[in-house]
Structures are given as C-alpha cells and as structure tokens.
C-alpha cells in the first residue's frame, strides 16, 4: 500500500533550509519506516502594485497601493509626478518623504523602510478641482470684463500739460468712443469742475447741453441721442484757476451713462487726472 502526504509551506515562509521528517508507525505505535527530506527555500523579492484615480466634481483622489508578496522584509518606494503649477492644489494624506522639481514637474517620493511579507503600504493624494474651477471662473470673468472694456464704450479724460497759472486757461478733453458693434442710445457725459476753477464759455468742439453751478463746483453735461458702432466724439472745454495753485491738484472722474441694445442703462467712468503746478 502506498501512502502520500502533501506539505504546503506558508505563502510567506522565510527563506532558509527546511528539514522535513516523515515517520510511519503501526497501530501499536511502532516505527515502521522513516524518511527525511531537506528543502532549501529561496529568497523571494516580489511586490504587487495597484493604482487608481476617483474623479469627482470637486476633487480627484489618487490611490497607490503596493503589497510585499515576497518572503523577506523589503523597503518600498512610491513616486508620483505632477505639473508644478498644480502644487498648491496637491493635498497628500501622508506627507511625502522628499520632493524634487525639474523641468516644470514636481516628483514626490514616499519611502517605507521595513515592509514585512504580506504587508501593504497605501498612499493617497487629492487634487482639489474646486480651485481649478474657481481659477477657470476667474479667467472667464476677466475675459468678459476685458471684452467689455476693449469692445465696449469708453471715456478717457485728458488735459494738455501746462503749468496752471492764475487766469491762464487749461484745455480739458473727453474722448468718447463706442467700440461695441451695436448702437448705444440716450448717451450722457457728465464732468465736474472743482470750485478752484472757472469754466470758460468758449468751446472748440460740441457745446455742452448745460453748465450748472452746484455746491462745491460746476457740472458740465453733454447729451447725444445715440452713438453708432465705432463712432467717436471728442469733447473739450477750458478752465482757468481762480487763484494761484501750488503742488498737485486732482480733477475728478468724468461719467458716461448710456442705454445698450438690451435697453439696459449702464454707466462708466474715466480715470481722474492730476494737474501739477511745477
């Protein structure tokens, strides 16, 4: 009669020399036969890597898992690279051991020195897409405002550089441009002159619809029924100081109000200008 016996080593059995001894005894526990076998277990250095990314609306989470499937303790190193401009959006679950920047990329490294057989290490990191969406939204907003500035109505206030002297006239110019592709209506341009200056009654271009003295200065108003696409108007008026001015004096913004093609009333302002006495 032939007897057979199978012996299975543990999956992570340590390397070395193993001696297997088989004893066959009868019913009275007397030794019938004996057999020995020597087996050398080799070193197995093997790892298994898994990685995946879960993408959501607000973030993308990457998981990297490495398992020690060998039979000896081994060090495990995990590396990943991201574009350098994504650095502020990178949030690791475990802080990397080191990082290195090269050619516009950042390489992160996690180092685990002693990983036992059968053990696994897991690294997770998150890319916050919320900040990406906010960045993209910001770009869209900037583009919209830039488009409106480049292709919308504008008003620019200028003056001919001159040293302001008592009784000497200073020419102020308002450059009005309808850069849009649509006609605008009910256009009003309003400028304010501080009380230190007197408005001249002489006008080189279009005469204002009204010149009204108010508390704290003078308001000058022009009105146009419409401005066609790409139409430009230059409005000028002259002012002269009522007294000697020293240092720098600021003239306030000019205002423009109009109605666009959607019948919405909108307004824009020019930059203020500084008049230097010296």
CA 16: distance to chain centroid?
A: 57
Q: Answer yes or no: are the C-beta atoms of 45 and 68 closer than 8 Å.
A: no
3-state SS class at 119 = coil
Tokens of 87: 């650095």
Segment 45-79, tens digit of pLDDT: 999 999 999 998 888 999 999 999 999 999 999 99
pLDDT at 252 over 80: yes
Q: Pick the residue with more confidence: 234 or 152?
A: 234
What token pair was written down for 12? 């992570």
At 185, is the pLDDT very low, low, confident or very high (cuts 50, 70, 90)?
Answer: very high
Answer with the residue of higher pLDDT: 154 or 147: 154
For residue 173, which of 192, 194, 157, 162 has the smallest C-alpha distance? Answer: 157
User: Domain 47-132 sits in which CATH superfamily?
Assistant: Mu homology domain, subdomain B (2.60.40.1170)
Handedness of CA 138, 142, 143, 148 (dihedral sign): positive
Give the chain's mean pLDDT. Answer: 89
CA dihedral 178, 181, 182, 188 (to 10 degrees): -10
**Domain edges within the chain:** 47-132, 152-276
Report how far apart, in Å, the C-alpha atoms of 83 and of each of 65, 126, 136, 256 are: 22, 14, 17, 46
Q: With cut-offs at 50, 70 and 90, classify the pLDDT of residue 22.
A: confident
Q: Is pLDDT above 90 for 228?
A: yes
Give the pLDDT band of residue 93 (cuts 50, 70, 90).
very high
Per residue in 94-132, pLDDT (tens digit) is 999 999 999 999 999 999 999 999 999 999 999 988 877
Half-sphere exposure of 2 (CA within 13 A, CB side): 1
Structure token pair of residue 186: 């009910």
* DSSP β-bridge partners for residue 47: 68
Mean pLDDT of all residues in 160-174: 77
Q: How far apart are CA 130 and CA 142, in angstroms?
A: 18
Q: Tell how strand 90-92 and strand 120-128 pair up.
A: antiparallel
CATH homologous superfamily, domain 152-276: ntegrin, alpha v. Chain A, domain 4 (2.60.40.1530)
Q: Over 221-236, what HEC string results?
A: EEEEEEECCCCEEEEE
Structure tokens at 72: 């000896």
At residue 164, does pLDDT exceed 70? Answer: no
Tell me whether the CATH fold assigned to 47-132 matches the one assigned to 152-276.
yes
């Amino acid at each position: 009669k032939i007897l057979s016996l199978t012996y299975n080593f543990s999956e992570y059995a340590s390397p070395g020399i193993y001696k297997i001894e088989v004893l066959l005894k009868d019913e009275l526990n007397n030794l019938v036969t004996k057999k020995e076998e020597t087996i050398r277990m080799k070193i197995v250095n093997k790892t298994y890597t898994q990685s995946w990314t879960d993408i959501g609306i607000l973030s993308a989470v990457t998981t990297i898992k490495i398992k020690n499937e060998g039979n000896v303790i081994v060090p495990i190193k995990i590396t990943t690279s991201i574009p350098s401009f994504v650095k502020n959006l990178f949030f690791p679950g475990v802080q990397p051991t080191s990082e290195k920047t090269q050619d516009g990329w950042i390489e992160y490294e996690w180092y685990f020195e002693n990983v036992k057989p059968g053990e696994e290490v897991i690294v997770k990191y998150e890319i916050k897409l919320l900040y990406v969406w906010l960045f993209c939204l910001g770009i869209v907003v900037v583009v919209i405002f830039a488009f409106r500035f480049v292709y919308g109505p504008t008003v620019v206030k200028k003056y001919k550089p001159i040293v302001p002297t008592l009784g000497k006239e200073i020419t102020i110019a308002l450059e009005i441009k309808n850069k849009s592709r649509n006609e605008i209506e009910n256009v009003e341009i309003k400028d304010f002159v501080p009380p230190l200056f007197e408005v001249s009654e002489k006008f080189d271009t279009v005469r204002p619809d009204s010149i009204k003295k108010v508390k704290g200065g003078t308001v000058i108003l022009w009105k146009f029924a419409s401005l066609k696409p790409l139409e430009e108007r230059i409005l000028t008026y002259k002012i002269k100081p009522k007294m000697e001015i020293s240092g720098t004096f600021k003239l306030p913004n000019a205002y423009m109000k109009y109605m666009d093609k959607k019948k919405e009333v909108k307004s824009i302002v020019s930059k203020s200008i500084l008049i230097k006495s010296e």
